[in-house]
């Protein structure tokens, strides 16, 4: 994947798929740690289709499933991807039942140099 993103190898005409382990800290109304996988499909034109599946464990011990899809676009000449995602949350926790009714739109960036993702979510 790094060679393709760095322009050292061409993207196959049929595209490519990568299964990326993701995880990290969430801050804000939902605070906790997330872990899961992003099934990334790189199209022949370089755009990436995201297919996210994560579990958020809140700081107070509740679990929330996160699923989402979206796109990531490489910035020309920079080791950065711009991310746009549509996210759904679900849980059986009574304390967090409000997430089951929300639609979330996410925007952010991913640094290919550091591997860090910075994202913000906006609820309807």
pLDDT digits (tens, 9 = 90+) for 82-109: 999 999 999 999 999 999 999 999 999 9
Please check the confidence at residue 3 and state whether its pLDDT lies above 90. no
Residue keyed to tokens 């740690």 = 33
Domain range for 74 is 2-123
Q: What is the pLDDT of residue 2?
A: 65
Per-chain mean pLDDT for the chain? 91
Please check the confidence at residue 35 and state whether its pLDDT lies above 90. yes
- Confidence class of residue 4 from pLDDT cuts 50, 70 and 90? low
The pTM of the full predicted model, rounded to 2 decimals, is 0.85
Q: In whole angstroms, what is the distance from residue 51 CA to residue 5 CA?
A: 18
Q: In whole angstroms, what is the distance from residue 118 CA to residue 8 CA?
A: 26
Quick check: 96 and 123 in contact, CB under 8 A?
no
Residues in contact with 56: Cβ distance below 8 Å, sequence separation at least 6, in sequence order: 26, 30, 32, 33, 34, 63, 64, 65, 66, 89
Please check the confidence at residue 13 and state whether its pLDDT lies above 90. no
How many distinct structural domains can be found in the chain?
Answer: 1
- Confidence class of residue 5 from pLDDT cuts 50, 70 and 90? low
Please check the confidence at residue 111 and state whether its pLDDT lies above 70. yes
Q: In whole angstroms, what is the distance from residue 7 CA to residue 9 CA?
A: 5
Q: What is the CATH number of the domain that holds 22?
A: 2.40.160.20
CB atoms within 10 A of CB 84: 15
Q: Which residue has the higher pLDDT, 54 or 12?
A: 54
Q: What is the pLDDT of residue 24?
A: 92
What are the beta bridge partners of residue 47?
none
Supply 2's token pair: 């790094």
Q: E-strand spans in 9-79?
A: 16-26, 32-42, 48-58, 63-74
């Amino acid at each position: 994947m790094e060679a393709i993103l760095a322009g050292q190898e061409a993207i196959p005409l049929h595209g490519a798929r990568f299964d990326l382990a993701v995880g990290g800290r969430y801050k804000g109304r939902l605070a906790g740690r997330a872990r899961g996988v992003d099934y990334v499909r790189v199209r022949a034109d370089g755009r990436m289709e995201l297919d996210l599946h994560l579990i958020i464990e809140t700081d107070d011990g509740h679990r929330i499933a996160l699923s989402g899809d979206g796109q990531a676009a490489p910035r020309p000449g920079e080791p950065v991807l711009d991310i746009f995602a549509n996210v759904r949350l679900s849980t059986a926790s009574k304390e967090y039942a409000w997430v089951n009714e929300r639609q979330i739109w996410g925007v952010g960036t991913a640094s290919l140099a550091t591997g860090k993702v910075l994202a913000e979510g906006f609820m309807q």
